[in-house]
């Protein structure tokens, strides 16, 4: 069974630039999560979906961040105008029921 | 609110000695799911153990843990540490098939 896949694996931007991250969850997993993990910190939930519906986006900086999962499968997280404080690894995870979340390899973002 | 508390900071052990990382939790829900995740350097978190059954030992890859609802604990143990066990370990809680609540993480360092 293929795991969670993410792309790109790395991104380097100047402040003010936009970037999109893409996630393909494990087949059949109905719930998809986006986390931000700054260096030397634990994962912090940004948003999660069940199928195509947003369940919780309360931690998403809505003025610059957006996330969609239009068909309930793949998902895209976008940062409209990146800031240096956005430098972190962005992790996607998926789950089915209470079996636990399975993480993708992450996208390491550096904003200069 | 719900929370997870782990052994603080860095735990340094000599190879071959037993490992015990503490995890306690607080939740108002009577049927929480508890997880241990392991994160090696430059990798994403990987699910190590999970449990929702009171007083039942769960094992994987030499590690084991038992959920004790009476003491709200889910400590991670291994009988003999290996160099490859050096990593960050996160205990996490969920109750609604969604958001994971992570502890602050414990860094385990195994020395020869």
Q: What is the pLDDT of residues A76-101, one digit of tens each?
A: 999 999 999 999 999 999 999 877 89
CA–CA separation, A105 and A96 (whole Å): 19
Of A45, A91, A99, the CB nearest to B99: A45
Domain regions of chain A by residue span:
15-96+104-111
Burial (CB < 10 A; 0-12, 13-18, 19+), residue A1, is exposed
Dihedral sign computed on CA atoms, order B4, B8, B11, B16: negative
Q: What is the DSSP letter of A86?
A: G
Centre a 10 Å sphere on the Cβ of residue B46 and count the other Cβ atoms it contains: 15
pLDDT of A109 over the 80 cut: yes
**pLDDT, mean of residues A104-110:** 97
B92 neighbors B34 (Cβ within 8 angstroms):
yes
**B44/A104 CB distance under 8 A:** yes
**Is the CB of B98 less than 8 angstroms away from the CB of A105?**
no
Tens of each residue's pLDDT in chain B, 112 residues: 889 999 888 999 999 999 999 999 999 888 899 999 999 999 999 999 999 999 999 999 999 999 999 999 999 999 999 999 999 999 999 877 678 899 999 999 999 9
What's the CA gap between B105 and A41, in Å, rounded? 8
Predicted confidence at residue A40, as pLDDT, reads 84
Position B37 scores a pLDDT of 97
> What pLDDT is recorded for position B1?
82
Q: Do B33 and A105 touch (CB under 8 A)?
A: no
Q: Grade residue A8 by pLDDT with cuts at 50, 70 and 90.
A: very high
The distance of Cα A3 from the centroid of its chain, to the nearest Å, equals: 15
CB contact under 8 A, B97 and A45: no
CA distances, B62 to each of A55, B48, B56, B59 (Å): 36, 10, 16, 7
Query: What is the per-residue pLDDT for A1?
Result: 66
Is any Cβ of chain B less than 8 angstroms from the Cβ of A94? no
pLDDT at residue B110, rounded to an integer? 97
Residues of B within 8 A of A45 (CB-CB) are 99-100
Cβ of residue A39 closer than 8 Å to a chain B Cβ: no
- Per-residue pLDDT at A80: 94
Cβ(B1)–Cβ(B88) below 8 Å: no
**Separation of alpha carbons A47 and A77, rounded Å:** 9
**Closest chain A residue to B40 measured between Cα atoms?**
A105
Query: How far apart are the CA of A4 and the nearest CA of chain B, in angstroms?
Result: 11
d(CA A41, CA B79): 28
The answer to whether A11 and A112 have CB atoms below 8 angstroms apart is no
pLDDT of residue B97: 67
Query: Considering only CB atoms, which chain B residues are within 8 Å of A42?
Result: 90, 102-105
| List of long-range contacts for A53-61, beta carbons under 8 Å, 24+ apart | A55/A31, A55/B98, A56/B98, A56/B99
User: A59 CB near a chain B CB, below 8 Å?
Assistant: no
- Measured CA to CA, the distance from residue A85 to residue A83 in angstroms comes to 5
- A57 touching chain B per CB within 8 A: no
In total, the C-beta contacts within 8 angstroms joining chain A to chain B are: 45
B3 within 8 A of B101, measured Cβ to Cβ: yes
What CATH number is given for A15-96+104-111 in this structure?
Answer: 2.60.40.10
What residue ranges define each of the domains in chain B, with the CATH number in brackets? 3-111 (2.60.40.10)
């Amino acid at each position: 069974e293929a795991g969670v896949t993410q792309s790109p694996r790395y991104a380097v931007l100047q402040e003010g630039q936009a970037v999109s991250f893409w996630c393909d969850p494990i087949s059949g997993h109905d719930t998809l999560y986006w986390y931000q993990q700054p260096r030397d910190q634990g994962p912090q939930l940004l948003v999660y979906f069940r199928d195509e519906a947003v369940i919780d986006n309360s931690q998403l900086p809505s003025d610059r961040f957006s996330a969609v999962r239009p068909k309930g499968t793949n998902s895209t997280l976008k940062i409209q105008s990146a800031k240096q404080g956005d430098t972190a690894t962005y992790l996607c995870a998926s789950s089915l029921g209470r079996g636990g979340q399975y993480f993708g390899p992450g996208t390491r973002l550096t904003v200069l | 609110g719900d929370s997870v508390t782990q052994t603080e900071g860095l735990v340094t052990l000599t190879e071959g000695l037993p490992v015990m990382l503490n995890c306690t939790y607080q939740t108002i829900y009577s049927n929480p799911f508890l997880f241990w995740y392991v994160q090696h350097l430059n990798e994403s978190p990987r699910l190590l153990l999970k449990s929702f059954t009171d007083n039942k030992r769960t094992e994987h890859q030499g590690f084991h843990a038992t959920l004790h609802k009476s003491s709200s604990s889910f400590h991670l143990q291994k009988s003999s540490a290996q160099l490859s066990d050096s990593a960050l370990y996160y205990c996490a809680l969920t109750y609604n098939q969604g958001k994971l609540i992570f502890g602050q993480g414990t860094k385990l360092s195994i020395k020869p």
